[in-house]
Amino acid sequence: MNWEEIKKDVSKIHPKREIAIYTLQSPNRKSLGWVNIAYANYDFREFCRYCVEIQIRLGKRDKKKEKLNRFQMHFKLAKIGNEKLDFEFIENYFIKHFSGICTALFLYIKTTKRGFQIQIYVDNIEATTNRLNEMKTDKNRIFDFDYKITEDENWDIIGMMLY
């Protein structure tokens, strides 16, 4: 298979979304998120073999507000201009920045104690790393984030979430 030829047909590389929403609960916190299960049997994993895990931080929390419901903290926390900072906004933000430089498959996003975590699989590690570094150092960036990239040809990192 020639990846450059396959990528020309967007419907092949980006299947129709099938979003599964979930909550995770541990003794200390709840987390809400979604995973795109349309990628469960994805035929082109070998080409998008780099898992990009991005931790988005939404600023320092006020200890006096700690008793607020965590879902309130994440979903009512921030506005950017006229837009809410939510799952859709974050996904679109990264789609816009990755457009044209790599194939980016958004598989997973969840709330965390301090913001959001997303997992994206990409085909071009060099272009992705360069773009993320540009975004991190942009003085006008919307939020702070850290990332790590792991080679994961079989998608073991996201595997259990897809099934």
**In which domain, by residue range, is 135 found?**
3-162
pLDDT digit string (tens) for 128-151? 999 999 999 998 888 889 999 999
Query: Which two three-digit tokens encode residue 120?
Result: 């994206």
Query: Which two three-digit tokens encode residue 75?
Result: 């979903």
Give CA–CA dist 147/125, Å, rounded: 13
User: What's the full length of the chain, in residues?
Assistant: 163
Q: Which amino acid is at 140?
A: N
Q: How many domains does the chain have?
A: 1
Q: Which amino acid is at 50?
A: Y
Cα 21 versus chain centre, distance: 14
pLDDT digit string (tens) for 30-83? 888 899 999 999 999 999 999 999 999 876 544 444 444 444 444 444 455 555
